[in-house]
Structure 1
Amino acid sequence: MNRTVHLSPPDVGPLEESYLLAALRSGWVAPVGPDLEAFEREVAARVGTRGAVAVSSGTAALHLALLGVGVGPGQSVLVPTLTFVATANAVRYTGARPIFVDCDPRTGNVDVALVAELLGRLRAEGERVGAVVPVDMFGSCVDYTALLPLCAAAGVPVVEDAAEALGATHRGRPAGSFGAVGALSFNGNKIITTSGGGMLVSDDTALLARARYLATQAREPVPHYEHREIGYNYRLSNLLAALGRAQLVRLDSMIGRRRALRDRYAKLFAPAPGVRLLGEDDAAANCWLTSIVVDPGRAGWRAAELGTHLAERGIETRPVWKPMHLQPVFAGARSLLTGAAERLFADGLTLPSGSALDDRQVGAVLAAIDEFLTARTGAAPA
């Protein structure tokens, strides 16, 4: 039996089973059907946009979103260097070039002041900037109050990578609703899952219609198969949409469990010198993943040492994202850096955060961390 405590395992149960069985028994097994249409409506209502298009992955959503705002060859797109590779890969799919921007060390989100500086430089150089793609890191929204006006002033559309942030808000506005279009992910470890899947969300109904057309192999609306453009096989299946609908019903309770676990981590590490939670001041985050940042000079230990200690006890952790400018595939790409992302990669550790973790698993994780801290500080166990 596998007893590993994973970072964010899928949280599924009887409700998801009932939705899937109902979809299966309805006969709508093909990539379209009533659950797919309902899932799009329900997610759009949750995010607060006029519409949505469900697709096979968050990466597909990003690709279509970039195409929707006109990104293509000969353009540059500003992307956080601290992100999962899909954000940058989607830019390359369009033929554009990613330019990487460093992060705010407090939150891990893109440094808005650096975005402003870089947009000014690129304008002076005559560079064609197709979009800015902020990423809501680990479920905490970017400072859109600052970012959106400067992008609007530069005439550059914003494509929000909200893959990690469904259910989070910024000043009361839901993640995914900022900019021209947003992209969500329903991968197996995300806040809700459809096994694999994603969604575009936007108020621009023409952009969404274009995305739906491209996602269905760009098939023309005629009785036979006719194609005037290159399209993609990107649509989500009706069965997976049924799973997503059940997950969406439970979204708030799952966020609540993740927030409660984050609070327990915060209390456990509070007495430890040189340790903080990444984005700890954001009460509106969905707490998809909780990461700590360790100052080894103050703490007397490194994040990787705690990771090793937990791995020996069957507890999964991982570093914060390796910055894109350090990835071999993007060697030589232009970047504007402060060193913040590299420090987070060196000193950060992501801890088990899933809503499916039971009390026994949570207790084991907290006890193992307490054991480690006690051994390093000599203090009495918490």
Structure 2
Amino acid sequence: MGGNEQKFIKEAFDTNWVAPMGTNVDLFEMDLKTYLSNNVHVTALSSGTAAIHLGLILLGIKAGDEVICQSLTFTATANPILYLKAIPVFIDSEIETWNLCPIALEEAIIDRIKLGNKPKAIITVHLYGNPYKIEEIRAVADKYQIPILEDAAEALGSSYKGQKCGVFGDLCVLSFNGNKIITTSGGGALVSHSQNIKSRAIFLATQSKDKAIHYEHSEVGYNYRLSNISASIGRGQMEKLDEFVNLRRKMQNFYKQLFENVKGVSVFEVPNEDYFSNHWLSVITINPSETNGIDCDDLRLALESENIESRFLWKPLHMQPLHKDFPYYGGNIAESLFAKGLCLPSGSNTTEEEKARIQNVIKCLFKNKIKKKIKVKSLFPKRQRLFEDNMLVNFFTKNRLETS
């Protein structure tokens, strides 16, 4: 928390505005509009997933339509496609930003057109806060006249060539879930480039009430508007957004220094100075062939033994049981990253004492370049087996690991 959240919450209670409308909703939207600039219009909603859902509706997506989606992302990016009974078409990543590969994207579009199913939208993602290849993806989208829905859920505070992420798509999505750069407890926003689209989004998000003296409804609506209380939290958070981004970037620098001389470990970075990442999460990849067999699961278990949480990368959506029957285009970049990647503790409020604990575990594991085994049961089999088999073979490993 930044400090002033309770002040804005008190204002909401004092004025008796606790419903999904009110002054704090309007002012939170204005704060976001000012921050993003580029003359955008912001609609505050109950979640980032709700924003993706409304975004697809506003782009005209209907049952049976195909929607292109980055595979290496959280499932919430693709779930709204299924809400609409549309068909996701998954695309591999490229190795520089780990985001949507423009080459595989165009190959997929050409092939889908040949099959008589031209995609109706492209969902792009700024993975872990790192901007995707904005210009390359836009060039492909414009060439085939397909709109972009930009998923900037992880990227508030990131930018490309000085322009904040969240304005590059035809429609754009933000998230204020509890784990994001700023939070409204739960919440999100849809960013558009016209007041008419914002008005339409508010209409749909408030149960599609027609203009009448009674309750009249001509189309399906949703209860997706952000509450005034949640927006109050958001207003307080916005005051600290730049500070939170700086703290995340300091965590990134902490890991860069920590792994600087560890052969076989790479800290995920942006390609060049055009890209500015909020580093929502700091992520590494480990090459076991260069670390005497130490892999991401070994590091995860070592951290877990000291009550420090880390997580594997998002499992690519085309590898998920939910999506196994949908089209996929590209190579194995996303799968390879999943097999060797780990998200490390990255919170804005990580203390120096906590950093020291993290550092101690990592140094102990890698200092002798000897594979360590921790006295805990792994929740997953080895990452290489996950990569090769493309599925979880066992939920628990069969044998208790022993300390070396």
- TM-score (norm. length: structure 2): 0.88
Alignment RMSD: 1.4
How many angstroms apart in 1 are the aligned matches of 2:40 and 2:336? Answer: 40
What amino acid is aligned across from residue 133 of structure 2 in structure 1?
A: D
2:325 aligned with 1:332: yes
The residue that corresponds to 1:304 in the other structure is: 297
- Which range moves more in the overlay, 205-214 or 147-156? 205-214
- Which range moves more in the overlay, 286-295 or 361-370? 361-370
Q: Deviations over 1:143-199 (max 9, x none)?
A: 111110210110100000000000100111111101211000000000110000000
Q: Deviations over 1:307-355 (max 9, x none)?
A: 0000000100000000101111112111013111111111000001010
2:231 aligned with 1:241: yes
How many angstroms apart in 1 are the aligned matches of 2:310 and 2:212? Answer: 51
The residue that corresponds to 2:135 in the other structure is: 145
CA contact (8 A) 2:102 2:140 kept: no
Q: Deviations over 1:48-83 (max 9, x none)?
A: 242111110000000001111111122111101101
The residue that corresponds to 1:24 in the other structure is: 13
CA contact (8 A) 1:323 1:342 kept: yes
The residue that corresponds to 1:369 in the other structure is: 362
2:334 aligned with 1:341: yes
Residue of 281, 289, 313 corresponding to 1:320 = 313
What amino acid is aligned across from residue 72 of structure 1 in structure 2?
A: K
Q: Deviations over 1:276-306 (max 9, x none)?
A: 1123445500110011011111122101100
Residue of 243, 253, 257 corresponding to 1:263 = 253
2:36 aligned with 1:43: no
Name stretches of at least 5 consecutive residues in structure 1 with no aligned partner: 1-11
Q: Secondary structure at 1:346's aligned position in 2? A: helix
Shift in alpha-carbon separation, 1:180–1:280, aligned structure 2, 3 A:
closer
The residue that corresponds to 2:281 in the other structure is: 289
How many angstroms apart in 2 are the aligned matches of 1:206 and 1:94? Answer: 23
Q: How many equivalent residue pairs? A: 367
2:188 aligned with 1:217: no
Relative contact order higher in (CA < 8 Å, ≥ 6 apart)? 1
Deviation at 1:17, TM superposition (A): 2.1
The residue that corresponds to 1:75 in the other structure is: 65
2:86 aligned with 1:93: no
The residue that corresponds to 2:103 in the other structure is: 113
What amino acid is aligned across from residue 326 of structure 2 in structure 1?
A: A
- Which range moves more in the overlay, 67-76 or 42-51? 42-51
The residue that corresponds to 1:182 in the other structure is: 172
Q: Deviations over 1:105-148 (max 9, x none)?
A: 33221111111111122222221311000100000111111110
Residue of 143, 163, 167 corresponding to 2:157 = 167
How many angstroms apart in 2 are the aligned matches of 1:248 and 1:222? Answer: 37
Alignment of 1:49-68 (within 5 A): 49-68=39-58
- Which range moves more in the overlay, 122-131 or 340-349? 122-131
Q: Which runs of 4+ in 1 moved over 6 A?
A: none
The residue that corresponds to 2:22 in the other structure is: 33
2:230 aligned with 1:230: no
The residue that corresponds to 1:3 in the other structure is: none
What amino acid is aligned across from residue 99 of structure 2 in structure 1?
A: N
Q: Secondary structure at 1:129's aligned position in 2? A: coil
How many angstroms apart in 1 are the aligned matches of 2:51 and 2:368? Answer: 46
CA contact (8 A) 1:103 1:109 kept: yes
CA contact (8 A) 2:45 2:189 kept: yes
Q: Secondary structure at 1:356's aligned position in 2? A: coil
CA contact (8 A) 1:187 1:195 kept: yes
The residue that corresponds to 1:5 in the other structure is: none
Shift in alpha-carbon separation, 1:110–1:78, aligned structure 2, 3 A:
same
Alignment of 1:196-215 (within 5 A): 196-215=186-205
Q: Deviations over 1:79-104 (max 9, x none)?
A: 01101001110111122100000111
Q: Secondary structure at 1:110's aligned position in 2? A: coil
How many angstroms apart in 2 are the aligned matches of 1:374 and 1:16? Answer: 44
Shift in alpha-carbon separation, 1:359–1:19, aligned structure 2, 3 A:
farther
How many angstroms apart in 2 are the aligned matches of 1:327 and 1:344? Answer: 15
How many angstroms apart in 2 are the aligned matches of 1:125 and 1:204? Answer: 34
2:240 aligned with 1:250: yes
How many angstroms apart in 1 are the aligned matches of 2:367 and 2:318? Answer: 37
Q: Deviations over 1:238-289 (max 9, x none)?
A: 0100100111110000000110110010111111111111234455001100
Identity across matched positions, percent: 37
- Which range moves more in the overlay, 211-220 or 113-122? 113-122
What amino acid is aligned across from residue 22 of structure 1 in structure 2?
A: E
The residue that corresponds to 2:402 in the other structure is: none
- Which range moves more in the overlay, 45-54 or 149-158? 45-54
The residue that corresponds to 1:127 in the other structure is: 117
